[in-house]
A and B are shown apart, each in its own frame.
Chain A
Amino acid sequence: MNEMAPIQAPTAGCATPASATGREILKERGQREVFCGLTGIIWLHRKIQDAFFLIVGSRTCAHLMQSAAGVMIFAEPRFGTAIMEEKDLAGLTDANEELDRVVARLLERRPDIKLLFLVGSCPSEVIKLDLSRAAERLSAQYSPDVRILNYSGSGIETTFTEGEDACLASLVPTLPEAAPERQSLLVVGTLADVVEDQFRRLFTAMGLDDVQFLPARNANTMPAIGPGTRVLLAQPFLTETMRALQRRGAEHLPAPFPLGEEGTTAWLAAAATHFGIDQSAFDAAIEAPRNRARKALGRYREQLAGKSLFLFPDSQLEIPLARFLQREIGMQPLEVGTPFLNKAFMAPELEQLTETAVVSEGQDVERQLDRCRDARPDITVCGLGLANPLEVEGLTTKWSIELVFTPIQGYDQAGDLAELFARPLVRRTRLEV
């Protein structure tokens, strides 16, 4: 294992270095074995505690939600599906009346709801049911008690985590205006509550007090945005949200994503550098957790170094994950698939990723499976539909969805993140059957 070079916090303005643009990207089109954007509701509805997500869709949407949730969460979820029926397709006026009726009943039953998202689906988009007008109409009716927004989580427009992007982008125009002179840091992208609290403590420790998070845990504590807002993306899939924030005057702080010790350090450093935090204050704040992360990773480096890795496209977290596993654990990424490549966001990541790794964007699942079988990686990261069949073929797999449902960001989760990859291999070694 080579001595790791610390990542320099990239400065704003040099978003696409030559090394990133120079890399060949394998672009694929064909069958895509990915979730649609509705799936993001599974974590978003828990994150924003007074929000409800009403999917306007079909029985397929409802079935997806209960199947993708894996186990059915029987604490009553704050999401539901208004299933369109034949008569709703016949006339759009009727569909709007039906929607009003459904929303009225829902809000009557759930007076605790302060923020209602009408979530578009493939069928509602195809019949051109205008949910933005519906949201406007209903907002006028229920304001100020309930704010009603809309976004599309349809599979024809969004891939898996892009649903969160669409949701947050719909929130941005409603966020309060921050005073122009207010210099504040905004961390964007759903993080586990525990991780959010850790980051807040770290920023406070280095003397950065004005830190806000989007999404907030409640509708009335959403962050204020202004020209002094600087954005750190906690998740890589927030293209539209970042654009919407820029329209409000906020600026992006390019950084690697906070996965692993290096990634977390560089991510924190991007904010610290911008806000002029003193190097010694920064070092003092991160020293203890950074050492814990290094210690925790050491154990897994022994188990995983030299193992090859193949990632199917899923959440757009693939490139940062591969960078982490390669640089901090010593694994060898063979192919890194991503459903969509945002070159600007990924530039600091791609700079660090080995040139021998193939980066592929989009998917033709059958062809990709052929490549994976040829490559015989030690670990394949893939979706739930592919994992068991590949195990049967003798490949060791890691379900990618777990990487979205587990706290993996930050120093104190770096070891947990590595462990997720070690466990399938350990299990293979243990089993004698």
Chain B
Amino acid sequence: MSERMDRGFDVVGKSERKVDGLGLVTGRPRFVDDIRLPETLSVKILGSPHAHARIVSIDVSEAESLPGVVCVLTHENTPPTRHTTAGQGYPEPSPYDARMFDSKVRFVGDRVAAVAAEAERVATEALKRIRVEYEELPAVLSIDEARREGAPIVHDEADATGIYDSARNIVADVDIDVGDVARGFEESDVVVETTCETQYAQHTPIEPHVVLSYLDPDDRIVLRTSTQVPFHVRRIVAYTLGIPMHRIRVIKPRIGGGFGTKQEVLLEDIAALVTLRTRRPALLRLTRAEEFIAARTRHPMRVRVKLGARKDGHLHAIEMEALSNTGAYGAHGLTVLANTGSKTLPLYNKAPNAHFFGQAVYTNLPVPGAYRGYGATQGYFPLETAMDELAERLSIDPIELRARNHIRAGETSPVFEKLGEGREGVSQTVKSCELARCIEVGADRIGWSQKRGLRPKDGPWVRGVGMSVMMQGSGIPEIDMAAATIKMNEDGSFNLLIGATDLGTGSDTILAQIAAEVLGVPLGNVIVTSSDTDVTPFDVGAYASSTTYVSGTAVVRAAEKVRDQIFDVAAPLLESPVEALSLSGGAVIAGNGRRVGLDRVCQRAMYESDQFQIAATASFVPSESPPPFLANFAEVAVDTGTGQVKVLHYVAVADCGVAIHPKLAEGQLEGSIVNGIGYALTEEMLLSSRGRVRNPSFFDYKIPGALDLPELEVVLVDSYEPTGPMGAKSIGEIGINGPIPTIANAIHDAVGVRMRQTPFTSERILAAIEGR
């Protein structure tokens, strides 16, 4: 539900049917492996059984001779180019520490070999016939082990680059400060400190990673792939295989979710190479078990927050120290670490002293990558817990404490400039912030003042309420670039070509809405083609909550250019100066009352006089990243006999600027919050003492289902971001950061225990209640 002003938009702000919805509800062949090509080979990957080992020898002769096996790849016959799998802008701020196939394996499930065969069962059988001799090496299986003096070195190869200190397993080291926190704490009246740990958790998109590669009639490689980053895929595959980029075309059709795990070049290099060598289409898809073991995960972190405050509740010093486990490869290691601080500390911008520092370290464990929230999720847990503890110490209502400290419109934070995506950030002033309103609405809906501190009992169940606030960003300033091309058709419709990547988020729809709004046509008159590197202009892809803000602005600019061309054609027809023209209802309207339909305008331009194609391309690089804001409130019930916690009611109130499509924006919040609840309560990848994933299935990795839903209310408050397209900011990630600290704070209200390790399983809660 939303409380929004009517801003006079015709298309924007309305919840129309998604442009791709019809095909999705009728099961049309829209996903990667919904199309069948003759002669397609099935590709399977052999994963390492060891957490850390050298491959002493690898004999594929028996596998190769199995009837139906067409191609076997190992480190002995593939390019040795070190690269990063992270789908980030070039030059990627992640180490180049991965080879297609290496002579060393670094986690259980790491690539050893790949087989392409006529049928999947033949490929699977062939994997068993690959004879590998391993020299097992001692493994590091935790952050602490990795940092120990003399720890085994995960990346000892000579040709890796971009690692901060490989001899000590340190991928990244970040340290920024503002003022002097040591003195700040001394000057504070109250100091609280908390350390929280977050677990290995996974995105579990319902569609696992999958790619289909094939040669087009001109012998170019086409990668039809489930990705969030088609342009980065093209570049990185070209680099890895040593082939010219223009010989590769990447197409993203509909994909079944990503949440960050598909911001990665996970499979495309293998499929492409199989196709290059065999000239046949190759289908490579992960099973659900492989998805758990060898895709990407959340970065498990240990984060310490120390807050110093004056008696009146004003924060005077904030320190955050983050230790991040970046697994066997460093993709996203630096940037997730940096985001842990850059998306959290500016929220409490008025503390004159702040210090963020931390390291991301290698371990011989499954590989974390990008995951919705991207470090902020891990940072808000201790930050909002510490704020709750501070409120208690100061005897100030937690809401009041936030109100006294959070950033407001017109303000800035020195952290914006000091900390960005791994390097320095970009200074900015917040121009829209409705967090105060968010807090007000949320507190009212949860019944905060009626419920806080009461601890009502019902048999073994005790209730409590908790809250938290947060911000995120909208794109990566000065780094992200998006472009859009719009061309006009002679029936007054338009083709919108965008690199932007719809992973189910509905970006095709909202970007079409933006174009339709500027061009004065109904949504159905904008035909979207997206995410095809041959056809659509560049876009970094779907991450960093960038699509609405960055891609949306590119669309506005392209549409404005097209509008101007339309006006140039229409002006003489309407005998009107261009300045007196406007677009509405599929027509050009003049100040003198005359109008001409867009179809007529385009026909004139296409066929009649001074013919030209009405079309334009525009790009946008943002100079700031206006944060969305979120206030979360939860009521929980804790069973003091079993430790079970039920989230009864969850209220999330967001300022996302103008919601281009309110139901899709609400859907982003609802989905990310439910994901966050799973992350808070039940989701955990469990690892054996040898680094193997013990629960690689939904049977024992428990994500929320329909029965686990609390009463969930999401509200979008009225807000307008002046730098955003139509006033929009973003909403894609922020929701997932809410549940952990909110539920932790609610549990404390109910039973007086502080949960500092996720997930808050019933076993852990019972132990906390009993002081164990």
Do A and B truly interact?
no
